[in-house]
Homo-oligomer: A and B are copies of this chain.
Amino acid sequence: MELIVSKSNDNVKFIRSLNEKKYRTKYNAFYLEGVKVTNEILDKNEAIDILFIAYSKSLLISTNGGQALLNRINSLKNIKVLEFEENVFKYMTDTVNTQGILAVARIPKYCLEKEKNNKNMVLLDRVQDLGNIGTIIRSCNAFDVDTILCTSGTADVYSPKAVRATMGGILNVKIIYLENIEEINLLKKIGYKIVTTSLNTKNSIDSIDYNNKYIFVMGNEANGVSKEIIDISDFVVKIPMSEKIESLNVGVATSIILYEQYKKTSRK
C-alpha cells in the first residue's frame, strides 16, 4: 500500500474539505473518527456506505485497541484503505487528540414517508450548538429513539464536532432534515402528537399519558421553539424545575424528556 506523505494529495484535500458543511453537502459524505467508532462502522458495513478508511500507523498503534484494528483493516477485502503519514493525518482532521483512524461514509438519506414507524421521535428546531446536537443523539440511543427530525435552521448533524459528541450514536439513528412545516402536519395526520417544550406553561411533562406516539420538539438555545411549530402543537409542556431558573441546557432538557418517555413507555 502506498503511503500518502503530501498535504496536497487529492485524498487529503477531500477529507479536509469534509470539515466544512458546503463540501459535505457537495460530496454527500462525512467522516467518523476513532478506534471504537471505526470498529462499529465496519460491523455495520451492510447498512452504511463506507467510501474508504484512512489511518496513520504510528498514531493508530499507540492507541488502545489500535493494533487489533490495524490488523482488521489490513484484512479488509471490499473497502479501500489509505495510509497517511502522521503529520498529514493530523492536518486533515478536526480533532486535537486524534487516534489516527477515520472512516469516510456517504450521508444516509431517509425518507420521511418510510419512517412513520411506531416510535416516538425528536424534532430539533434551529438547535445551533454542535456539542448539544451530538449529546442529544447520544441520549436518543440511550432512550430508544431512533429518528431525529431537524428543521432546516438546525446546525449540521454531520459536522465532525457533532459526530464526535454522539460517541458513535450517529450510526444508530436516522436523521431527516425537513423541507417545510407541512411535513409535520403530515405526521399529525397519521396520529403523531406534537409536544413542544416551553418555559411559559404550567403543564408538566408528567401530564403526558404516553397513549400516543409523540414528536418532542426542542428549540433554539436562545429563542426556543418557533411560533409556527408552537401553533400546530398538541401539547406545550415544561420540565419541573426551580422557579428561580430560566432554562436548562437544550441537550439536558431533551435528555430528561427522552428519559421520561423511556421510563414510561418501557413499562407499558
CB of A135 within 8 A of CB of B239, answer no
Q: Is A100 an interface residue (CB 8 A)?
A: no
Shortest CB–CB separation between residue A251 and chain B, in angstroms?
6
Sample of 14 more A-B contacts, CB < 8 Å, known A131-B131, A241-B262, A242-B262: A138-B248, A139-B248, A139-B249, A142-B245, A143-B241, A167-B247, A241-B259, A249-B255, A251-B251, A251-B252, A252-B252, A252-B255, A255-B256, A256-B259
CB of B255 within 8 A of CB of A248, answer yes
CB of A141 within 8 A of CB of B244, answer yes
Q: Is A180 an interface residue (CB 8 A)?
A: no
Shortest CB–CB separation between residue A163 and chain B, in angstroms?
14
Find the B residue at minimum CB distance from A143: B241
CB of A135 within 8 A of CB of B251, answer yes
Chain A interface SS verdict (over half): helix
Some 23 contacts from A to B, beta carbons below 8 A apart, are A135-B249, A135-B252, A138-B249, A139-B249, A141-B242, A141-B244, A141-B245, A142-B245, A144-B242, A167-B246, A167-B247, A169-B245, A172-B244, A206-B263, A240-B263, A241-B259, A241-B262, A248-B255, A249-B255, A252-B252, A252-B255, A255-B255, A256-B259
